[in-house]
Amino acid sequence: MTPGRAAGDGDDAGTAAARLTGRTVTHVRALSGALAEAGLDDGRTVMVKRGRDAREVGAEAAGLRWLADAGAVAVPQVHGHDTSWLVTERVPGGRPTRESATAFGAGLAALHAAGAPAFGAAPPGGSEDAYIGLAPLRNVPGDSWPRWFAEQRILPYLRGSVDAGTLRRVEAAVVEEVCARLPDLAGPAEPPARLHGDLWNGNVLWGDDHRAWLIDPAAHGGHRESDLAMLRLFGCPYLDEIVDGYQSVAPLAPGWRERVGLHQLFPLLVHTVLFGRGYGEQAIATARAVLSR
């Protein structure tokens, strides 16, 4: 190994898949610059993903295992990982049905109910420093959800947006007011839930058996309404059926619909940092709507 270089840094997807599964790779199909499918000599096809650094790869592997441990929603098996590569089970593509969406909602409720040690708790084996998409994410535990959500999920991305000039200081003050009023806006206290953490439609795969599978988590302990709010923010097939299935297992607290925008502030501000002014304007409009309720 070259001094100073981590294992796997010089690999391509096929070499990484062979090394991490212990199988001979028969073919590789690139899906993007960082993602490929690899066929193995035992007939399986696996997904091979290159991460930006060891923290990202380790956090995703730990998150997938933590979600799978709940036994509630289908999660691809982790076949192996190192400081650069993650190899997971491939999910054959399919389409959702109303029935499978309802079942997914029930499974998501059971996943959340599996719990976490604290708000902000990282998965076992995961790092305090992780990612949500391309943005850094810190998993710092806290006891009070309103204070933790403000300090660890809203304000860091708000400050980043102001520092970059994407949001004006006067606009940021609206979000800061939401943070100040969070104890009154948060609704009834809830225990820490086991969250996927980046639950937009693209991270829910529907298998050829119509089941929902969860991929690419930013898993941590959080408020269960946050996962549902992100599903609503970016759209998801049969969302009403998902919510109905969820409520059949674990009814949401009164007023949850009015709190959707509050929970959406986090992903909107992350997108503001990553993608610019359009999401910033949506975040400010959402904050004003939250304050007007």
Residues marked active site are found at 198
Locus of tokens 């998965």: 123
Q: CA dihedral defined by 104, 74, 45, 235, rounded to 10 degrees?
A: 40
- What is the C-alpha separation between 6 and 36, in angstroms, rounded? 21
Helix 239-249 and helix 224-234, axial crossing angle in degrees, nearest 10: 170
The CA-atom distances, in angstroms, between 190 and each of 111, 112, 119, 144 are 15, 11, 10, 10
Encoded tokens for 41: 């000599």
| Three-state SS at 203 | helix
- What is the C-alpha separation between 106 and 162, in angstroms, rounded? 39
Encoded tokens for 247: 């409520």
What does residue 278 show for φ and ψ, rounded to 5 degrees? -60, -45
The CA-atom distances, in angstroms, between 158 and each of 35, 167, 270 are 31, 8, 8
Instruction: Return the DSSP state at 128.
Output: S
Q: Which of 128, 23, 20, 131 is nearest to 78 (CA)?
A: 20
**Taking CA 262 as the corner, what is the angle to CA 261 and CA 267, rounded to the nearest 5 degrees?**
80
- What is the C-alpha separation between 219 and 1, in angstroms, rounded? 32
- What is the C-alpha separation between 254 and 151, in angstroms, rounded? 25
